[in-house]
Amino acid sequence: MKVLVTGGAGFIGSHLVRALLERGDRVGVLDNFASGRRSNLDELAGDIELVEGDLRSYERVHAAMNGVELVFHQGALPSVPRSVQDPLTTNEVNVGGTLNVLLAARDEGARRVVFASSSSVYGDADGFPRDETQRPQPLSPYGVAKLAAESYCRAFWQVYGLETVSLRYFNVFGPRQDPQSQYAAVVPRFIARLLEGQAPVIYGDGNQSRDFTYVGNVVAGNLLAASASGVAGEVLNVATGGSLTVNELSSAIQEILGTEIEPTYEPARVGEVERSAADISRATRLLGYTPAHNVEEGLVTTIDALRAGGPVSA
Among all residues, which ones are annotated catalytic?
142
Residues forming beta bridges with residue 30, ordered by sequence position: 6, 51
Omega into 141 within 30° of 0, i.e. cis? no
Amino acid 143 reads G
Cα–Cα distance, 152 to 202 (Å, whole number): 35
What are residue 201's DSSP bridge partners? 264
φ, ψ dihedrals at 61, nearest 5°:
-65, -45
Single-letter amino acid code for the residue at 255: E
What is the DSSP secondary-structure string of 25-83? -EEEEEE--SSS-GGGTGGGTTTEEEEE--TT-HHHHHHHTTT-SEEEE------HHHH
